[in-house]
Amino acid sequence: SLPIRVQFVINTVPVLDNVATQILRIIGVAPYEETLAIVTTDEPTPESLVFGDLVKLFGQVKEFFSVEDPFLDMEHIVDDRSTLSEDGLKSLKEIEQTIDTALKKSNLATFLLAALGAVDVGLSYLNESFLDVFCPTPCGNWFNGKMGSGSFTAGKLLKAQAGLFLELKTQTYISGVEFSERPKEELLDEIFPFNLQDLLLRRRQAAQLTPVESDFIFKCTTRRDTLLNSPDTEDLSENYDWLIFLKELFGYVSKNIGFLLWGRKPRTSLLPSLTDLTSPTTIIPSDLTHLTKEEIHKRLEEQKEREKELQQEAEKEPLTAKRKRVVRRPKPVLVKSSQSKSTTVTPRIKNMLRRAWSPEEEEALVEALKEVGPRWSKILDYYGPGGTKSEVLRNRTQVQLKDKSRNWKMAYLKNSQPMPDYLKKVTGELER
């Protein structure tokens, strides 16, 4: 009673559910520090290798639903419900909860992976999709042919979510300023739209804002004015630290993952096992859905053996070859918004964790300082992501360039050594 394409996608839902579940077990439930350690490690570990495999598999499975859209909904399973017969709609209705949970897991996993820079989704998408991920409407609304119905929490912005959304919008603006040449007003109008009230009301099909929504709009207006009036010389990334936002985001998710996935009240403790995250029902049997803890441990042991083999091979290779085997932290991701011409990027975890500078990066920075001086945005135009000369500094931010140059200068001053000309215009003086 269902088109063959719809049947195929539906039969893939359990696989999507399971892979998303395993990812959420790693980055959505585990302590925040452990998550960063796995994602940003410079050396391959069993956990990081499994995580990398899961992310790759996750992307492959999602392509069965959509190649372009990072976030999924029922329209990626059935693009036109009018083409379905009554029996087809009835059969879909019977597995509504399973589909709904799987899509929510997938979208939450995508959002968190993007925040960590592990998948190619930019901040523009995260800003546009925040409400759909953190305040989703039940897929039952799709079966009813309308949005806005369902439980009283459907689509409603809660206080903690509002705080996260405001900070995400701020981070999106900072990223836009750093990596685009668009005017500040244009960026702010896009990220803090003047019709935000109408958007919130239309999404819930409501006539009046909730107190939390009203407060959110007021804070958005205030934040927009603050950002608009901030001097160009101000380093906004220091005032609005990405790492703090990231910690608050993952802290909220770990405490409220049950509520985000099933609409229940937030749990008071972390989910203890894989089965706590799996759907109560499945559509078809799948090898992945029967993965046990013992099998996971077995896989980890296999990864350990593979790691030992790689280390033994690396010991026989020159330094340059060893570097190629290092598991690097996530790259910054350039992604164009689906509804605008803006280009924003996911903030770089490296900015927070202070990865050691490579000789190639240091040489590029010295050459850039000699060429253009301490003009950090111009240096990234030459050597950053999509740089006109190279991409050696693609994993560095303006703040890191400034800090590195200042540290060089301070070292010369402290040791009373002759100052190279390319460092003389860099800020920084010894305290007297």
Tens-digit pLDDT profile for the chain (432 aa)?
788 888 899 999 999 999 999 999 998 887 878 888 888 777 788 888 899 999 999 999 999 999 888 999 888 888 777 778 888 888 888 888 889 899 999 999 999 999 988 888 888 889 989 998 998 776 556 666 544 333 434 568 888 999 999 999 999 998 888 877 788 999 999 999 999 999 888 888 888 999 999 999 999 999 999 999 999 888 888 888 888 888 889 999 998 888 888 775 444 333 333 334 443 333 333 343 444 555 555 655 665 565 556 555 544 444 333 333 222 222 223 333 333 333 344 444 444 444 578 889 899 999 999 999 999 988 988 887 667 888 788 777 787 888 889 888 888 887 788 889 999 888 877 654
> What is the fold, at CATH topology level, of the domain defined by 359-415?
Arc Repressor Mutant, subunit A (1.10.10)
| Coil, helix or strand at residue 344 | strand
Residues 10, 67, 4, CA angle at the centre, nearest 5°?
A: 30
Instruction: Tell me the DSSP string of 136-159.
Output: PPPTHHHHHT-SS-SSTTTTPPPH
Q: Nearest 5°: phi and psi at 343?
A: -130, 120
Which pair of structure tokens corresponds to residue 193?
């739209």
Residues 45, 328, 124, CA angle at the centre, nearest 5°?
A: 120
Which pair of structure tokens corresponds to residue 429?
């003086």
Which amino acid would we find at residue 150?
G
Which pair of structure tokens corresponds to residue 19?
């892979």
Residue where the block lists tokens 């949970």: 101
| Coil, helix or strand at residue 305 | helix
Residue where the block lists tokens 């019709």: 195
Contact of 264 with 104, CB cutoff 8 Å: no
Q: How many CB atoms lie within 10 A of CB 59?
A: 15
Whether pTM exceeds 0.75: no
How many residues in the chain? 432
Which residues have CB under 8 Å from 292's CB, separation 6+? none
Query: Distance (Å, rounded) from C-alpha 371 to C-alpha 183?
Result: 27
Query: Distance (Å, rounded) from C-alpha 100 to C-alpha 72?
Result: 10
Q: How many CB atoms lie within 10 A of CB 25?
A: 17
Query: Distance (Å, rounded) from C-alpha 378 to C-alpha 383?
Result: 9
Nearest partner of 124 among 332, 331, 343, 330, judged by Cα:
343
Query: Distance (Å, rounded) from C-alpha 41 to C-alpha 137?
Result: 36
Residue spans of the domains in the chain: they are 1-121, 122-142+153-264, 359-415
Query: Distance (Å, rounded) from C-alpha 197 to C-alpha 16?
Result: 34
Q: Which DSSP helix (H) or strand (E) runs through 39?
A: helix 32-40
Query: Distance (Å, rounded) from C-alpha 277 to C-alpha 57?
Result: 18
Contact of 83 with 3, CB cutoff 8 Å: yes
Contact of 54 with 20, CB cutoff 8 Å: no
Query: Distance (Å, rounded) from C-alpha 137 to C-alpha 145?
Result: 13
| Cα separations in angstroms, 33 against 46, 185, 350, 353 | 17, 37, 15, 11
